[in-house]
Structure 1
Amino acid sequence: MTDPAPVRCAWCVGDPVMEAYHDAEWGVPVRDSRMLWEMLILEGFQAGLSWRTILHRREGFRAAFDQFDPLKVARYDAAKVETLMADPGIIRARAKIEATIGNAKAYLAMQAGGEDFADWAWAQVGGAVRKNDGVHVPARTPVSEALSKALKAKGFKFVGATIAYAWMEAVGMVNDHAPHCFRRDQV
């Protein structure tokens, strides 16, 4: 007899890439600064689009943005922006590309000032995972509004409260797995 398929959050069902992301990454607490920055950038690119669109292009983003190395991205010039604007492997939105370069600079400025991005980010949400009921999933919360404001104060762009909340979910600052989802109590 075969094991039944795991019951997942509805948003990922039916797409093998989305299911794999859901099962292995979404909602798992991330404490690595560079990975947190990468996910924040990807969430910014999602603005106005679906996560599916971004996730299916993630490897293209990684290749285009030097594996999300902030030191390299911060040095991008106008010629690199034009190269990125011609790259079919990413979302070719000039404002988002330019924001990514600025966000690399903001990330590095924090680092130069002695602030670890992971420590700072987690401190903004009280240092612990928030577990919601998984039924009433908001698009934004007072915490994501405060996080958005704090990121903007550090010089980050494309980090509105809705993007901040999606980022919080993705990197495990909040657990919004559905009550029936097999990952809910695992992360």
Structure 2
Amino acid sequence: MKVNEKIAIWGTKIILVPYKIYHVEKYHQWMKDQELQELTASEPLTLEQEYEMQQSWLEDDDKCTFIVLDKEDMKQKSELDSMIGDVNLFLNNPENLKQGEVEVMIAEECKRGQGKGKEALLFMLRYGIEQLQVTSFIAKVKMKNLASKNMFERIGFKEISQSDIFEELTLQLVVTEEWLSWLLSQTKCYHIHVY
């Protein structure tokens, strides 16, 4: 999505940056991991396909992605060495352009369970509301992925359906004034910078 190609969002634990060509090889290495494929319901791509996907993320108006960097790591390491995951927003419902499907992945196992995925998700929700005028969100989570399901539910998502065939739950969050106030209180550290 062109709208986020030159911005970064800084927080307490993480920094979100646009998905650029130089991130692709590391991202591709992550997605060879069978556990990540299972947790994210992803199919492995060739490196060439991954480069094409990166271009699609950049060019398409219906999807927005950020790479998640560990803010503490950025003090001593390069951007590539600080990469820990990604967060995505798809505007893939032509009948309801105000609905977005959101997903977050912390690929680096040693960085999970530290609140970094939650911060990335909250930032993407806020970005979607403030910059893209999204008013409701859905998330699809593998039934086995209890950590992800619990995180979404703690944020306010509610289960609306499940698919035994795909072993997947669909959760929804409708943005209300009360929930938006809560989100703003949880993201006081959210700052957009030129990237």
TM-score over 0.5 (shorter chain): no
> Under TM normalisation by the shorter chain, which class is it?
under 0.3
TM-score of the superposition, structure 2-length normalised? 0.22
TM-score of the superposition, structure 1-length normalised? 0.22
Structure with bigger gyration radius: 1
